Amino acid sequence: MPYVKRENVAQPNFLASADYTAFTYQVEATGVTADAKGRKIVKAGTVYPANDSTAIGLLLNDVDVSTGPQPGSVLVEAWVLEARLPVPPAAEAKTAMKGIKFKKVV
C-alpha cells in the first residue's frame, strides 16, 4: 500500500469568469523565499514574470519551484477579482497586461 500524505491547500478563487486563456511559461525560482517546510511556492494570482511593466499575465495555479524552474500556466486573457490576488498588481503591470480585466468584488 502506498504512503499518501494529506495536505490542506488554500487557494482562493480569483477568477470572475469561466472564460480565460492561459499559456505555459517557465516559472523561475530566483527571488522566491522558502516557507516553513522549506518549499518554494509561487502563489496562484502572482503577476508573471514580475509586478512591473514586463508583466504578461497571472499564474493560474500555485507553482512549486523548490527544485528549480518549473512550467506554470499563465493567464493572458481573463476577468479576475483583484481583491483576491495575493499581491495587488502595480499600475504599470495592469497597463502591460492588456488581456487581464479587473473586477471589483461586490
Q: Which three cell numbers stand for residue 23?
A: 499559456
Where are the chain's structural domains?
Answer: 21-100
Strands (E), the chain: 21-27, 41-42, 47-48, 57-59, 63-64, 70-81, 100-103
Which ranges of 1-106 would DSSP assign to H, the alpha helix? Answer: 91-96
**What does the longest C-alpha to C-alpha distance in the chain come to?**
52
Q: pLDDT category, 7, cuts 50, 70, 90?
A: low
pLDDT per residue over 37-94, tens digit each?
999 999 999 999 999 999 999 999 999 999 999 999 999 999 999 999 999 999 999 9
pTM: 0.87
